[in-house]
Amino acid sequence: MKKKVYIISHSHWDREWYMAYEQHHMRLVELMDDLLELFETDPDFNSFHLDGQTIILDDYLQVRPEKREAIQQAIDAGKLRIGPFYILQDDFLISSESNVRNMLIGMEESRKWGTPVMLGYFPDTFGNMGQTPQMMKQVGLEAAAFGRGVKPIGFDNQVLEAENYSSQYSEMWWKGPDQTEIFGLLFANWYSNGNEIPAEKEAAIRFWDQKLADAEQYASTNHLLMMNGVDHQPVQKDISMAIRLANELYPDYEFIHSNFTDYLETVQQDLPQDLGSVEGELTSQETDGWYTLANTASARVYLKQWNTKVQRQLENVTEPLATMAYEVTGKYPHDQLDYAWKTLMQNHPHDSICGCSVDSVHREMIPRFEKANEVGRFLAQEALDQLATAIDTSGFSKQSYPFVIFNTAGMPKTGSAVITLELERKRFAEGIPEELYQELAEQPKKYYHVETSEKKQIPALISEEVVSFGYDLPKDRFRVPYMARYVTIELPIDEMPAFSWETFALVEGATDEKQESMITQAGRCIENQFVHVSIEQNGTLTLLDKTTGQEFEELLTFEDVGDIGNEYIFKQPENEQAILSKDQPRSTVEIIKDTSEIAQIKLTQTIDIPISADDRLEKEQQMVREFRFRQAQRSKETKPLTITTLITLRAESKKIDFTTTIDNQMKDHRLRVLFPTKLHVEQHEADSIFEVVARPNQVSASWENPTNPQHQHAFVQLGDATQGITIGNFGLNEYEILDGKTIAVTLLRCVGEMGDWGYFPTPEAQCLGVHQFDYSLEVHSGKDKFATYKHAYAAQIPFSTKQLSIQVGKLSPKNQYLSIEGETFAITALKRSKLNDKLVARGFNMSSHLESLHLTKNGKKGKPLNLLEEECQETIDEMLQPYEIRTVGFEEE
């Protein structure tokens, strides 16, 4: 029986990378022009795989709109194979929902054109998320193809030797943490193993002798896959001639120009019984550790912070508010949200969000973040305006100023809600602006307090009155400018339920609240009923957990080391000793807030660090010397780095919040914050994609890299059955476990080159300027672990607020929109389905055990949906399977 060689033409299309987007864009137009011409002139050309991402079609038609019909004809004829995704994302650095929206929008776009390729396509993703099998199955995909995560892949697409290659074949079964299994296809010889096939005899013999041997080394069947393309590869126009020649030269093989649909069907029919399996996330754990590319999680941290901000805005503020407002209007902004999501997802390919491109690429990302965020803010405000007309405030005094606070997080939230209330306004139509300003400013000073809808007075920080300009933009007439008097209220909130709102009112009259202090020892100690925190003279914290009696020392130690690597990979200079803030004990404290509800201290520290690497680094970069062999050291010249940290503790919480600010003027270095523990455990847990993943603290036997960086989203946790510590963060995606017991979170990593296959200077990746980092610490007992995870999630989502009028409304003053009973269920979405406007809630089981879940709307249960939000069975199970991703749809009453 002949062996069959399936040749698939493709081009892996990084939209932006070592050149700016438009440089690649113009080359894409040339590629697509060539393809359409080739489809017409070569009847033997089977098809072209369009890299699994439909955005390529949008990019092309943006320049060639007249080619839409030709594109449609090529898709209808099976010549152009599209989808199933919108973009080729980085799995780990975008949120769970961003991964879902990529599939939702990608499938929708694919079906507009025709039939998507039913393959999860991850050719160059920097590691693969563990829940891929379950996610693929839930959108109808039974197979995934990937290039990384199993074998080591060096720079410039070089496949490295690996003694610990964990599958004997390029085909394997891939099992998720929930035990869902799909077919996995590894590009064991990379997705370029059939690139530029010679159409001349001697060259073809040399090519095929090597390529066939390489493929047969890993193939489990007689069906061999050859990927005819690579990064930004022009289509091979003489591929039909090259295939005819190969068939003449190798009579024992049948060479065909093919596609993934045909290849997957045939190869899966002939799989051997001894086909191996891989399980969970694939992050090159069994390699030497140098080419995991995990350090892209800390390249250009500002991009990760922006991404987190916009994802939280769209997923956790705008969509929940718009979903609730549907109850009032019967309308949902599907199209506007799609526009926002598509704009955001243009920043989600790995070369973009990973921060591993040239400066011009990342400069262009900021306006996309800003645009998507502004759309989200606009739609959220529209929803608040709609909800504001329907909330009943008739129980408040007519002289009061009512307002509403929404918790749009899918879990209870503790924190501070801030709202600015208008007390009085004067429109410009009433007089001269400056006179109106003076008239308002001269109003006698008044005192206020805040009451609940039950007339109970509650603590609040109320500012002095101020006068400022404002304007309205009515829907039916011209803009209305005015001057107005305002006060700003900071309201401490304790455990507001998930997806709920509550109304309050600002009432004239002094507060009768008596303040008590949580701060002692001239600002060096903060204490509540749960924890006692001391700020030592060296700037570190000593924390006593009063509930368990456990003490933690030297928390909040800052560590700075050199980095002579690149945007992809961190490399510390040989034999360099880390600079630790505790070894340079220069710290001062200042009390910022001290009330019965909240204590806040500003800690200021200064450490001296080198200004950059020495002169050798630039020369080694220009020589394209591999980072592992560089000899550069840090400069002997140092400058002081001032680190200012706001430390906040609330009366009813064990969680301590930190906001650290620096003005970075140093280059070629990495700054981390360390949280040592005395715990002796073998693994830790971190927030990942639809999974709280358990990872070992120790590396594999083959690991050579002295560091082991890891990805996270909202938190990382280290603990045992009785105690633990959870470190939350906002947009700080890299951490490392040191010596099995210290959590190190990367705040900033500054480098001067892109890396990979050439010399691409990136001075803006040095991240000079002012940076702010938000993170938290919460100690816990064994039984409270999942609660700290939810606190970390909720901390990323701000309260939403809106001033109200005194009115009778159909919505009650206080309400929970969706009831959630499930300790380990983490909500990721509350939205409306584009299919039918059905209310959709999605989340996942953070636990590895069977857990209970009761999810109800007005006391009624929903129906299970898949990730495409299609109904998949009649009844819903009230037990969550381990690591289950669950989507529930609710019918409107």
Residue 284, sorted as left (phi over 0), alpha (psi -120 to 50) or beta, turns out to be: left
Q: Is 445 helix (H, G, I), strand (E, B) or coil?
A: coil
Residue 310 in contact with residue 376, Cβ under 8 Å? Answer: yes
Beta strands 723-729 and 519-520 are: unpaired
Residue 512 annotated as catalytic = no
Measure the CA–CA gap between 364 and 638, rounded to whole angstroms. Answer: 33
Q: Give how far Cα 742 sits from Cα of 60, 76, 119, 301, 709, Å.
A: 49, 57, 40, 22, 13
Q: Which of 124, 178, 231, 545 is catalytic?
A: 124
Q: Give the list of residues 6+ apart from residue 423 with CB closer than 8 angstroms, or none.
A: 401, 465, 484, 485, 486, 487
- What's the one-letter identity of residue 244? R
Q: Is 660 helix (H, G, I), strand (E, B) or coil?
A: strand
Helix-strand-coil split of the chain, %, nearest 5: 25, 35, 40
Dihedral sign for Cα atoms in the order 33, 35, 40, 42: positive
What does the chain come to in residues?
A: 893
Question: Could you give phi then psi for residue 232, rounded to 5 degrees?
Answer: 55, 30
Which residues pair with residue 282 across a beta bridge?
Answer: 128
Q: Give the list of residues 6+ apart from residue 667 with CB closer than 8 angstroms, or none.
A: 611, 612, 613, 750, 752, 766, 768
Residue 176, sorted as left (phi over 0), alpha (psi -120 to 50) or beta, turns out to be: beta
DSSP string, 387-426: HHTTB--TTS-TTSEEEEEEE-SSS-EEEEEEEEEEEEEE
- What's the one-letter identity of residue 859? G
Residue 36 in contact with residue 74, Cβ under 8 Å? Answer: yes
Please report the beta strands in 785-869, taking only residues with DSSP state E, as ranges in sequence order: 800-803, 814-816, 819-821, 825-832, 839-845, 851-852, 854-857, 860-861, 863-865
Residue 145, sorted as left (phi over 0), alpha (psi -120 to 50) or beta, turns out to be: beta
DSSP string, 46-58: --EE-TTBTHHHH
Measure the CA–CA gap between 749 and 299, rounded to whole angstroms. Answer: 6
84 closest CA partner among 260, 235, 256, 347: 260
Q: Give the list of residues 6+ apart from residue 242 with CB closer than 8 angstroms, or none.
A: 197, 198, 199, 204, 236
DSSP string, 279-304: ES-BS-TTS-SSS--GGGGGBTHHHH
**Containing H/E element for 25?**
helix 21-41
Measure the CA–CA gap between 155 and 756, rounded to whole angstroms. Answer: 5
Residues recognised as catalytic: 124
